[in-house]
Amino acid sequence: MTQFRKLAAVALTATMLAALSLPARAESEAKLDAATTEAVTAKLVAEGYEVRSVGMEDGMIEVYAMKDGKKFELYLDDKFNVVKGGADN
């Protein structure tokens, strides 16, 4: 087998494995409903954050926000309490 064919086979295998794992990841992530997103946003805005996005990751609510010129990646529990995260800068 030539060097090119070996490289092509490795690339094809990696692409196929990545494609097979995508549906499993998509199904394992829960979606936030609009009411939860609005409630999280309202709570964090009241605390002085400028909320950029709200989603789910690893079973927690994930929020990207700005406050005092700093970027924050926050993780909240189901009661909207920050359980981990902080400023990125």
Per-residue pLDDT of the chain (89 residues; tens, 9 = 90+): 577 677 666 666 666 656 555 554 444 456 789 999 999 999 999 999 999 999 999 889 999 999 999 999 999 998 999 998 876 64
CA 1 and chain centroid, separation: 41
What pLDDT is attached to residue 38? 96
Domain map (residue ranges) of the chain: 1-29, 31-89
CATH fold of 31-89, please? SHC Adaptor Protein (3.30.505)
What pLDDT is attached to residue 27? 42
What pLDDT is attached to residue 51? 97
- The model's pTM: 0.63
Q: How far apart are the C-alpha atoms of 34 and 67, rounded to whole Å?
A: 23
Q: How far apart are the C-alpha atoms of 57 and 2, rounded to whole Å?
A: 43
SS3 assignment, position 45? helix
